[in-house]
């Protein structure tokens, strides 16, 4: 595991060293090319802005108003219906929050880990859940926003379905591995 | 669907807040969130410029196309609509590699570059192309070898074995990614016929 950690630690310095040096050897005018590429950075970031504002406002209102909690509570009977442990209901807010907001989900996960203990069932499940999927809404908003796409077609359904599979797989594997 | 979800979150949020007597929080939250959107977008400018500059160098030196040629045979199967020598492939590979290594701030610029390349081959500029949807399905369900943030949280909470969740995380992501790829494949096949 520490090997992979080392790769992560060295990856960026390595790229910063290797790419410009090799480009120079291949006779690329390194500084000019870098600047030409970097120019795009500003435009891309600005293009995302309206999409981000729109999505973040809607998500934030949904979370801060207590509507998310309400949705999580409405989903509880569904969990019982599948014969799942009542203890599992503790992770519903995290499962609903995960695709919506990265920082929000991290907050909920941290709170669950501290409340139940990192080595409890809920603590391990919350950790797995937090690490295993990405913030689907955020990614779609930013990536589609950057190229001006407004019709997502089935992208959101597919992303949310993957999140749901991730949730089910997390519950199953944590149960299998530790209990 | 985005329109519906966006409106749903907004409307139910405001109704719930009104019923709970928390209507004041709406104004505050809306303003704060708008501010956060701007901060996030502006916060991206630096890293975006850095990585897009570096990527330009890599492109001109021929690395990106070399990378695409090397991984191409695997990746191209997932993107049958792309041209053989599509410059999007290199950017897609860079994005996925950065994701796997947990280099979040390098992954986004590469991913946006990939989207721009995909957009050039998209016949309908305001609608997502199948290749884009495949790419985003891969991206959002992508494996991260070391979930560094959550391990840090576990260390702080005095876990006996903070890294024990790496295995379960990789398993869960693997399941999500596999199912996403399969379902995406089925949808694409169906819509073609």
ipTM of the complex as predicted: 0.86
Q: Which of B7-16, B86-95, B184-193 has the highest mean pLDDT?
A: B7-16
Any chain A CB within 8 A of the CB of B12? yes
Q: What are phi and psi of B63, to 5 degrees?
A: -70, -40
Distance from CA of B99 to the nearest CA of A (A): 10
A/B interface, count of CB pairs below 8 Å: 340
Residue A5 confidence class, pLDDT cut points 50, 70, 90: low
Q: What phi and psi values does residue B127 have, to the nearest 5 degrees?
A: -120, 140
Helices (H) and strands (E) in chain B, counts: 8, 0
Give how far Cα B167 sits from Cα of A116, B23, B124, Å: 21, 44, 41
**CA distances, B12 to each of A65, A76, B92, B192 (Å):** 9, 19, 37, 37
Per residue in A25-56, pLDDT (tens digit) is 999 999 999 999 999 888 888 888 998 899 88
Chain B CA closest to residue A155 = B133
Q: How far apart are CA A3 and CA B145, in angstroms?
A: 11
Shortest alpha-carbon distance between residue A80 and chain B (Å): 22
**What letter does residue B164 receive in the DSSP assignment?**
G
Long-range interactions of A3-11: CB distance < 8 A, separation 24+: A4/B145, A4/B146, A5/B146, A7/B101, A8/B101, A8/B102, A8/B103, A8/B145, A8/B146, A8/B148, A11/B101, A11/B103
Kindly write down the DSSP assignment for every residue of B14-73, as one continuous string: HHHHHHTT-HHHHHHHHHHHHHHHHHHHHHHHHHHHHHHHHHHHHHHTTHHHHHHHHHHH
Residue A43 confidence (pLDDT): 87
pTM over 0.80: yes
């Amino acid at each position: 595991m520490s090997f992979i950690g080392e790769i992560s630690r060295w990856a960026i310095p390595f790229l910063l060293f290797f790419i410009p040096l090799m480009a120079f050897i291949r006779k690329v005018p390194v500084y000019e090319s870098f600047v030409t590429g970097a120019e795009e950075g500003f435009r891309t970031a600005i293009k995302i802005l309206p999409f981000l504002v729109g999505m973040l406002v809607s998500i934030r209102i949904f979370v801060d108003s207590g509507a998310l909690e309400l949705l999580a509570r409405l989903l509880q009977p569904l969990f019982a219906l599948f014969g799942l442990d009542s203890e599992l209901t503790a992770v519903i807010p995290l499962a609903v929050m995960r695709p919506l907001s990265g920082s929000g989900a991290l907050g909920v996960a941290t709170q669950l880990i501290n409340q139940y203990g990192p080595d409890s069932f809920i603590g391990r499940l919350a950790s797995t859940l937090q690490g295993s999927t990405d913030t689907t809404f955020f990614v779609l908003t930013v990536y589609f926003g950057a190229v001006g796409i407004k019709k997502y077609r089935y992208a959101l359904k597919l992303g949310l379905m993957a999140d749901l599979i991730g949730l089910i797989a997390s519950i199953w594997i944590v149960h299998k591995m530790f209990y | 669907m985005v329109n519906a979800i966006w409106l749903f979150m907004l409307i139910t949020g405001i109704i719930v807040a009104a019923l709970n007597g928390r209507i004041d929080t709406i104004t505050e939250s809306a303003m704060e969130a708008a501010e956060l959107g701007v901060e996030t977008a502006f916060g991206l400018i630096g890293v975006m410029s850095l990585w897009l500059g570096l990527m330009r160098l890599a492109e001109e030196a021929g690395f990106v196309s070399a990378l695409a040629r090397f991984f191409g045979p695997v990746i191209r199967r997932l993107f049958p609509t792309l041209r053989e020598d599509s410059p999007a492939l290199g950017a897609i590979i860079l994005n996925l590699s950065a994701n796997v290594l947990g280099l979040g701030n390098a992954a986004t610029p590469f991913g946006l570059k990939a989207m721009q390349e995909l957009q050039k081959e998209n016949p309908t500029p305001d609608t997502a192309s199948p290749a884009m949807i495949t790419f985003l399905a891969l991206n959002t369900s992508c494996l991260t070898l070391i979930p560094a943030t959550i391990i840090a949280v576990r260390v702080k909470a005095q876990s006996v074995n903070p890294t024990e969740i790496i295995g379960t995380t990789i398993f869960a992501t693997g399941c999500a990614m596999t199912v996403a790829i399969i379902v995406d494949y089925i949808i694409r096949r169906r819509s073609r016929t």
